[in-house]
Amino acid sequence: MDGLARGQERLDTARRVFTVSELNNLLKEILEARFPFIWVEGEISSLKSSRNGHLYFNLRDDGASLQAVLFRSYRLNLPFELEDGMHVLCFGRLTLYEPRGQYQLLVQQVEPLGIGAFRLALAQLKEKLSREGLLDPALKRPLPFLPEAVGLITSLYGAAIHDFLKMGLSRFPKATIYIYPVKVQGPEASQEIVQALRALESLAEIEVIVIARGGGSLEDLWAFNDESLARAIRACRVPVVSAIGHEIDYTLCDLVADARAPTPTAAAELVFPRLEELENMLSYFKHHLLLGVEKQLRRQREKLFSLASRLKDPGTKISEQKKELSHLKRRLGLAFERLLLAKRERLRFLASRLEALSPLAILARGYSIVYREKTGKIIRRATQVCQGERIEILLQEGKIKAEVKEIL
């Protein structure tokens, strides 16, 4: 009987009926109590962003997949952006979404595996700005040769300001340096640097701006990897020199700036020429300029003497030209006489030929020309006249008027 009672009890328990909502609610309580906070490793897939900024994705490995959500409030604290295929560690708590009966991980923190969060964020930002062309070397502007007014953005309490001023003023004491003190570390540092940059570039006399700080870890220098600072540097009216950290430190500020110096001291050497070197250079150029002028004057003097030796007395030149003119005049007169004689002979020849062809020449040989008195037309045949018609006969000397008596 005891065995039968126990079996009946198990049967009653097994037959207890839950509604779907009751079961999901019970499972949710068990799940959240058993796994309050956990770390889960996996690869991100099916990443989606909602209108309100929440991220939904799956964490998967070779054998399974887990749904996860990163709400906007936690997403804003991430120093990098999530991407499909990224291998990560997610910290959060498990829960069950009762309307669908699906359990999911509510993510509060994400760490990339294989690369630190700061380095990943920096790599992503570099890639983004590179796609936009902000890192193009062609955009970098040359520094002014002799800047009289330089803006310096740095902390008042670090070694960077002392190193820059010491080197800068020793090289070019005549320069004016405008110092804008800022925080160079911490969450507020990047915005203070942006404000300083805009304030200094608004001063008309500023010709170049230097951003400087000493070395430090990647986290210490993170303010100089800020996107808004990078864009402010690229949009600045005057060239910007970045002197962040030591020689091994490279920040986004270094990549965007018009020039990069490995240290604040090196930045001062880059910006300011050494006055003594300039004066020596000026003396050198002055000396060579004078030598060049003297050499050119000597050449011009020699050329002038050469031309003067070739220049003849104007009176002699005029006398020679008069003789040449007289000679040409005689030659012209002789040529004209020869031409006139040739024309006369030609005229005589043509006149003789014309005279041979003239009707008057025919009359001189004893011939005559007969005309009609009324019309003056030449009569060549007897049939051209009538009996009794008046005619004229032209002789070598004189005319004869006659009347036709008979036509034969």
Q: Do residue 201 and residue 83 come from a single domain?
A: no
Rounded distance between C-alpha atoms, residue 144 and residue 208, angstroms: 7
Whether residue 260 contacts residue 159, with contact meaning beta carbons closer than 8 Å, is answered with: no
> Residue 388 belongs to what domain range?
362-403
Q: Give the pLDDT score at 1.
A: 45
Q: How confident is the model at residue 322 (pLDDT cuts 50, 70, 90)?
A: confident
Q: What is the pLDDT of residue 98?
A: 81
Give the pLDDT of residue 116: 61
Average pLDDT, the chain: 83
The span from the CA of 242 to the CA of 225, in Å, is 12
| Domain count across the chain | 3
Paired residues of 154 in beta bridges: 181
Q: Quick: pLDDT tens for 45-85.
A: 889 999 999 999 999 887 788 999 999 999 888 877 888 87
State the pLDDT at residue 4.
45
* 259/142 same-domain check: yes
Q: Among 6-15, 80-89, 135-144, 342-351, which is the least confidently predicted range?
A: 6-15
| Residue 35 shares a structural domain with residue 102 | yes
| CB contact set of 144 (below 8 Å; sequence gap of 6+) | 207, 208, 239
Name the pLDDT band for 7 (thresholds 50, 70, 90): very low
For 398, list phi and psi in degrees, rounded to 5: 90, 175
Three-state SS sequence of 264-332:
HHHHHHHHCCCHHHHHHHHHHHHHHHHHHHHHHHHHHHHHHHHHHHHCCCHHHHHHHHHHHHHHHHHHH
Q: Which of 273, 300, 323 is the last residue of a domain?
A: 273
Quick one: which H or E segment has residue 361? helix 359-364
The answer to whether residues 36 and 159 belong to one domain is: no
Question: Which range has the worst mean pLDDT, 56-60, 142-146, 183-187, 285-289?
Answer: 285-289
Q: Is pLDDT above 90 for 118? A: no
Who's near 65: CB < 8 A, 6+ residues apart? 45, 58, 59
Q: What is the bridge-based pairing of β-strands 259-260 and 240-244?
A: parallel
- Which helix H or strand E contains 152, and what residues bound it? strand 149-154
Same domain, 182 and 234: yes
Q: State the pLDDT confidence band at 140, using cuts at 50, 70 and 90.
A: very high
Last residue of a domain, one of 222, 257, 273: 273
Residue 88: CATH number of its domain: 2.40.50.140
Are 381 and 407 in contact, with CB atoms under 8 Å apart?
no
Residues 152 and 266 in one domain: yes
Residue 229 pLDDT:
93
In sequence order, the β-bridge partners of residue 40 are 90
Q: Is 245 helix (H, G, I), strand (E, B) or coil?
A: coil
pLDDT of the residue at 284: 64
Please report where in the chains the tokens 């030659």 appear, as a residue: 331
Amino acid 114: pLDDT: 62
Query: How far, in whole angstroms, is CA 154 from its chain's centroid?
Result: 33
Residues with Cβ within 8 Å of residue 319, at least 6 apart in sequence: none
Last residue of a domain, one of 239, 273, 307: 273
Residue 235 has a pLDDT of 93
- The reply to whether 320 falls in a domain is no
Q: Does one domain contain both 30 and 67? A: yes
185-192 long-range contacts, CB within 8 A, separation 24+: 185/213, 185/216, 185/220, 185/221, 185/223, 186/223, 189/223, 190/223, 190/224, 190/226, 190/228, 190/229, 191/228
Q: DSSP label at 355?
A: H
- Return d(Cα 138, Cα 213) in angstroms, integer: 26
| Calpha distance 193→222 (Å, rounded) | 13
Q: Which residues of 143-173 are buried (b: 16+ CB within 10 A; e: fewer)?
A: beeebebbbbbbbeebbbbebbbebbeebbe
Look at 298 and 313; give whichever has higher pLDDT.
Answer: 298
Nearest to 227 by CA among 251, 262, 244: 251
The pLDDT score that the predictor gives to residue 279 is 64
Q: Is residue 322 part of a domain?
A: no
Q: Are 244 and 251 in contact (CB under 8 A)?
A: yes
Q: Does residue 108 lie within any of the structural domains? A: yes
Asked if residue 385 and residue 268 are part of one domain, the reply reads no
Q: Please, are residues 265 and 288 in contact by the beta-carbon 8 Å criterion?
A: no
- Does residue 146 share a domain with residue 21? no
Q: What is the Cα–Cα distance from 149 to 176, expressed in whole angstroms?
A: 5
For residue 13, pLDDT over 80 is answered with no
Q: In the numeric block, which tokens belong to residue 255?
A: 């990549």
Q: Is residue 332 part of a domain?
A: no
Q: Do 208 and 175 meet the contact criterion of CB atoms below 8 Å apart?
A: no
* Rounded mean pLDDT, 371-376: 82
Buried b (16+ CB within 10 A) or exposed e, 293-320: eeeeeeeeeeeeeeeeeeeeeeeeeeee
Q: Is residue 283 part of a domain?
A: no
Does one domain contain both 104 and 197?
A: no
Residues 159-170, mean pLDDT to the nearest whole number: 91
Q: What is the pLDDT of residue 68?
A: 93
Q: Is the pLDDT of residue 11 over 50?
A: no
Residue 125 Rama label (left phi>0; alpha psi -120 to 50; beta):
alpha
Contact assessment for residue 178 and residue 151, using Cβ atoms and an 8 Å cutoff = yes
- Tell whether 354 is covered by a domain: no
Q: What tens digit of pLDDT does each residue of 194-250 get?
A: 999 999 999 999 999 999 998 877 778 888 988 899 999 999 999 999 999 776 667
Q: Mean pLDDT over residues 122-133, rounded? A: 84
What is the pLDDT, as a whole number, of residue 154? Answer: 94
Long-range contacts of 133-140 (CB under 8 A, 24+ apart): 134/230, 134/231, 134/234, 134/256, 135/255, 135/256, 139/234, 140/257, 140/258, 140/259
327 vs 119, residue with greater confidence: 327
